[in-house]
Amino acid sequence: MIEQPEPKTDVLAKRDAIVAGLRHLLPASGVIAEPLRLKPYETDGLSAYRQVPLAVVLPETTEQVAAVMAFCHAQGVRVVPRGAGTSLSGGALPMADAVVLGLMRMNRILDIDYADRCAVVQAGVTNIGITQAVAQRQFFYAPDPSSQLACMIGGNVNMNSGGAHCLRYGVTANNLLGLKIVTVEGEILDIGGAYLDAAGYDWLGLLTGSEGQLAIVTEVTVRILRSPEGARAMLAAFTSNEIAGACVDSIIASGIIPVALEFMDRPAIHACEAFAHAGYPLDAEAMLIIEVEGSTAEQDDLLARIRDICAQHAPISLEVAKTAEQSLAIWKGRKGAFGAVGRISPDYLCMDGTIPTSQLPAVLRRIGEMSASYGLQVANIFHAGDGNLHPLIMFDANSAESFHKAEAFGADILRLCVEVGGCLTGEHGVGVEKRDLMGVQFTEIELDQQRRVKSAFDPGWLLNANKVFPLTAALRA
């Protein structure tokens, strides 16, 4: 279990008074303090780590959030913000002396403006909920994490989440216009709005990806985009990771930026095929799924160009979807990848480093060697266009030794990512999982600079203080 900040004994001692105080601020159903009902909040998408919180609050309005924050601030109580709890880095892991502030009841879409191409939604609206609300007018919200059915826009903002299509449309940060936030003191502030590029400091950019360290997000103004006329995928399989990597380079060098460019290695292909029966080539070492957009004729043109490029890399299989249904079939295996790996091994760690794309073959070779030496299987899924690598490390959760090995293996992979010029996390965030690896990527001076920025928002370190930054002596004491 990861080290937690020392619980504040005074807070634990006045637990009943804190709960009573919170009950004054919220409707009866909005405060949870019974041990059994706290249990569902003890973990998130990284279920290896668990901690039951002091209490959970589920406010319904920004004003209620502000009242809770002002109260917790006055009482010196730590707060852990939570969306849907799908974080894969333990970003929403509670602390024993903390109030979990869940945004899920703030799930209304407040405004949709097609002419100005934006929507205002509360933090607890799901990612897919935004696209569904605007789909009848052929609009969509671009960032599409695989967890989009469950994860919430407030969580997406705080993790700066990506998705399969961010090569073309960018990550969350590139698709936001404004936020409504509540400060740790309980003040309500509007950041940005339905316009581009606020004057003054880029608070919007700083808050995005801040992992609940700086403020509570209660409303988000997102950009919505008109959907393309259509999209279609193709599949290309190769005899080595090197060749597939070279093919990716050639596609980018040709001036084509596909909307999606996904890479799977041999273990990932096999896992997905066994699960989804998508017809993936089992004799391949590496496979690419490439998607393009536009009218049918434009798709044909782009797919033909990409096909020609792939053909120069001695593919063992090349399949261009002719219809939307064939496209779905190509995607079916990839979209089910997590479930597929889950079938081989119910327990796996999903890592999330980024590497320079040119380093892919070398990195996969090293990961293969580590897999052999740790005795743990790994399947690699890679957003090839942007270098975001997701090794899925399979382990046995019933064995503490197996879990520790998996953690050590994961840490070695992330160190490798940094060593080759990449970073610890491309989209899942630091959370608790990578907190103690931050020193691999940053100097102590750089970490202190970031800590001082957090302190500027949260001088008492009440917000999500067990995450992102290696614990300081002050938090340990």
Name which of residues 226 to 245 contact ligand FAD (CB under 6 A). none
* Contact letters for other proteins, residues 118-157 (x by CB under 8 A): x-------------------xx------------------
- Total residues interacting with ligand FAD, rule: CB under 6 A: 37
Taking the least distance from each CB to ligand FAD, the nearer of 127 and 357 is 127
| Residue 115 beta carbon to other proteins: minimum distance, rounded to whole angstroms | 4
Residue type, position 411, single letter: A
Shortest Å, Cβ 317 to ligand FAD: 26
Region binding ligand FAD by CB under 6 A among candidate stretches 20-28, 197-205, 276-284, 427-435: 427-435
User: Minimum Å distance from CB 19 to other proteins?
Assistant: 28
User: How far apart are the C-alpha atoms of 119 and 224, rounded to whole Å?
Assistant: 7
Binders in 291-330 for other proteins, by CB under 8 A: 294-295, 297-298, 301-302
Q: Which amino acid is at 455?
A: S
84 binds, among ligand FAD, other proteins, none (CB under 5 to 8 A by kind): ligand FAD
Q: 38: closest CA among 86, 88, 90, 102?
A: 102
Q: Answer with the entry of other proteins, ligand FAD, none that 212 interacts with (C-beta below 5 to 8 A by kind).
A: ligand FAD
Cβ contacts of residue 468 below 8 Å, gap of 6+?
Answer: 211, 213, 429, 430, 431, 435, 438
Residue whose entry in the numeric block shows the structure tokens 């933090």: 123
Which partner from the list other proteins, ligand FAD, none does 44 bind, CB cut-off 5 to 8 Å by kind?
ligand FAD
CB of 95 vs ligand FAD, minimal distance in Å:
11
Tell me, what amino acid is at 349? Answer: L
- CA distance readout (Å), 241 to 38, 212, 237, 376: 46, 38, 10, 20
Q: Is 400 helix (H, G, I), strand (E, B) or coil?
A: helix
Q: Return all residues near 367 (Cβ < 8 A) that are at least 6 apart.
A: 378, 380, 391, 413, 416
Rule CB under 8 A: which of 168-197 touch other proteins? 170-171, 173-174, 183, 185, 187, 189, 191, 193-197
How many Cα atoms are found within 13 Å in the side-chain-facing hemisphere of 287?
31
24-32, 102-110, 220-228, 272-280 -> range binding other proteins (CB under 8 A): 220-228
The nearer residue to other proteins, 114 or 328, going by C-beta atoms, is 114
- The conformation of residue 412, written as its DSSP 8-state character, comes to H
* Residue 161 makes contact with ligand FAD by CB under 6 A: yes
CB burial of 122-151 (b: ≥16 within 10 Å; e: otherwise) equals bbbbbbbbbbebbeeeebbbbbbbbbbeeb
Binding partner selected for residue 336 from other proteins, ligand FAD, none, CB under the kind-specific 5 to 8 Å limit: none
Q: Is 155 in the site for ligand FAD (CB under 6 A)?
A: yes
Strand order through the sheet with 188-192:
109-113, 118-122, 216-223, 176-182, 188-192
Kindly list the residues in this chain that would bind ligand FAD in the complex (CB under 6 A). 44-45, 80-88, 91-92, 103, 123, 145-147, 151-152, 154-156, 158-159, 161-163, 211-212, 216-217, 338, 427-429, 464
